[in-house]
Amino acid sequence: MRQKNWKNLPYVTIALAAANVLVFLICQIDGGRLYDLGELDMIRVLGGREYGRLLYSVFLHGNFPHLFNNMVVLVFMGAMIEQDVGHLPYGVIYLLSGLGGSALSLFRKYLLRDMIASIGASGAIFGLDGLLLAIVLLGRSNLPTVTPGRVILMIALSLYSGFSGGNIDNAGHIGGLLTGFAAGVVYCLIRRRKSRPSW
């Protein structure tokens, strides 16, 4: 019984949230060095080939409200999704979504010659929205109260909030959302194939 309970714990979500909090605390005492090393800066990524920033920036937050808002969504929604899809797929899709969000953000910066650096886990969290949408549309979800209509409404409200606000990297949100949905579709197809009876 204890082993089963341990397996059901959303420890990937807990680890991701803890990592974000730890990085934020370090940023408060290191004089901005982590921000300088990890923010998504177009010149440093494309010109300096510092491609690690595509992922590093996902763990950086500008202030406490920024961190708090992202972590609340991550903990509550992420824990639910992790229990449905499993620890490894969940963690992989979260990180892929973060990378996808950073990639589209970087592409937009390049097109518009936008030199403002970006940080935050929002792209990865929007990827969880996309994953959740794929699950309720294509998968055999263990979340009976989560319907496609509710997920679409949640996504629409989140996107609207981003576009109506200021200083928000909406390209990162959309990139994460699309990446999470695409990865979720692949996951659901694999899960469906594995569930088919063998002859």
Token reading at 7: 């397996």
Q: Is 122 a catalytic residue?
A: yes
Gyration radius of the chain over CA positions: 17
The catalytically annotated residue of 158, 173, 195, 198 is 173
Cβ(56)–Cβ(121) under 8 Å?
no
Q: Is 66 a catalytic residue?
A: no
Q: Please tell me the distance from the alpha carbon of residue 128 to that of residue 178, in angstroms, as a whole number.
A: 10
Cβ(81)–Cβ(132) under 8 Å?
yes
Q: Please tell me the distance from the alpha carbon of residue 173 to that of residue 195, in angstroms, as a whole number.
A: 32
Q: Please tell me the distance from the alpha carbon of residue 189 to that of residue 182, in angstroms, as a whole number.
A: 11
The catalytically annotated residue of 105, 122, 158, 198 is 122
Cβ(122)–Cβ(70) under 8 Å?
yes
Q: Please tell me the distance from the alpha carbon of residue 172 to that of residue 123, in angstroms, as a whole number.
A: 5
As annotated, the active-site residues are 122, 173
